[in-house]
Structure 1
Amino acid sequence: MDCEPYFSLAGFAKVSWLEANHICNQVGSVLATVRNKEHHQLMLDYVFRNEKYFGNMTFWLGATNLVYRSYSWTWLSTGIPVTYAQWAKREPKSNRRGQDACLILDSGDHMWHSANCSEKNFFICENICMLDYSGLDKKVYI
């Protein structure tokens, strides 16, 4: 059986980053893992198609700098460091104490921001089949 790549926006509840990760995992997906500019644009296109429902919101993505002793931004789903990023000015704000250590996408400025992991935000899940890196730049399905 082929696995079709897709994103899904979770706008039913605002939750913490860890809760968002758990919810995505429960349905066989992960918090969105953005690997390149094209993938980021696919995700933005999906968010904008649904903007009438969500407006200017923030969404958890799957990166954190809470990785043991590294303090560098890493994708939780793969354990791979973040090499492509769309950080807003003066970002990331995270530090070695774990403050602002989780990643959000702001649909207002389309940029990434570091945020306190216990904040409540909507989130974007991504089908786990996307993590095999074989079809990363193909269509995004709802």
Structure 2
Amino acid sequence: MQEDCENLGGSVATIRSKKESEIVKKFLNKVSFRDWEQPGSDVWLAGSDKGSEGNWYWDTNGQREKISDGFNDWRKGEPNNGGRYSTGEDCMSIAYGDRKWNDIDCSEEKFVMCEIPNTQDVNPITG
């Protein structure tokens, strides 16, 4: 999934504030394509606790950043490292129904949300 986003000039999306979360949810509520509107059709985010169970961080382009204790949008009861996987759940997605964070097995096939920086030059108008 990271490679897919890198090929587009970006990285897997992170959500670092309530404002960003609201923007992402609004976008996802507008998206309409086959299979997205099915239960289990989560969207990957860059969150992970691989190698450090319970310590969640954003993993973008090889950089690790601890997820702020001040903002999170976990589903009730999540992260639980549970579910149907004996290997645990070390990756983060936005869950289909409520658009909240969920920890899931990293090998699942999901949609991925990429964050692509705006590289357009902006020239201020002076007068």
TM range (shorter): 0.7 to 0.9
Instruction: Say whether residues 1:75 and 2:64 are aligned partners.
Output: no
Structure with greater proportional helix content: 1
CA RMSD of aligned residues (A): 2.3
Match of 2:97 in 1: 108
- Residue-pair matches, total: 109
Q: Normalized against structure 2, the TM-score is what?
A: 0.75
- TM score, norm. by length of structure 1: 0.68
**3-state DSSP class of the match of 2:113?**
strand
Gaps of 5+ in 1: 1-19, 130-142
Matched-pair identity in %: 22
Higher gyration radius (CA): 2
Q: Which residue in the other structure is 2:43 paired with?
A: 59
Which one scores higher on RCO, CA 8 angstroms, separation ≥ 6? 1
Question: For residues 91 and 37 of structure 2, what CA distance do their matches in structure 1 show?
Answer: 22
The whole-number CA distance in structure 2 between the counterparts of 1:103 and 1:126 is 15
Query: Larger strand proportion, structure 1 or 2?
Result: 1
Structure 2, gaps ≥5 residues long: 119-127
Runs of 4+ in 1 over 6 A off after TM superposition: none
Instruction: Name the SS of the counterpart of 1:79 in structure 2.
Output: strand
Instruction: Give yes or no for contact 2:5–2:12 (8 Å, CA) kept in 1.
Output: yes
